[in-house]
């Protein structure tokens, strides 16, 4: 079994979860501060490039 592959896959999954949480936080913050959802989605996409 290739443990390096499993480790890299786990790291990728962790990074993906963190990115999704960051996007959710951004959407919640900007939605409550009057920024449109579309603008918040755009900003989130720029952050995760």
Q: Can you give the pLDDT at residue 31?
A: 66
Indicate whether 2 belongs to any domain.
no
CA 28 to chain centre: 13
Q: Please list, in sequence order, all residues whose beta carbon lies within 8 angstroms of the beta carbon of residue 37, skipping any fewer than 6 positions away.
A: 27, 31
Closest by CA position to 44, among listed 15, 21, 12: 21
Determine contact, residues 30/21, Cβ cutoff 8 Å. no
* Count of structural domains, the chain: 1
Indicate whether 1 belongs to any domain.
no
Indicate whether 27 belongs to any domain.
yes
Indicate whether 10 belongs to any domain.
no
Q: Can you give the pLDDT at residue 1?
A: 57
Digit-coded pLDDT (tens) for 20-38: 888 888 777 766 667 777 8
Indicate whether 36 belongs to any domain.
yes
Give the range of the structural domain holding residue 48, as residue numbers without chain letter.
17-49
Report pTM.
0.54
């Amino acid at each position: 079994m290739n443990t390096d592959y499993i480790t890299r896959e786990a790291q990728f999954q962790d990074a993906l979860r963190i990115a999704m949480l960051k996007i959710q936080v951004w959407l919640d913050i900007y939605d409550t501060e009057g920024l449109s959802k579309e603008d918040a989605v755009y900003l989130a996409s720029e952050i995760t490039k």
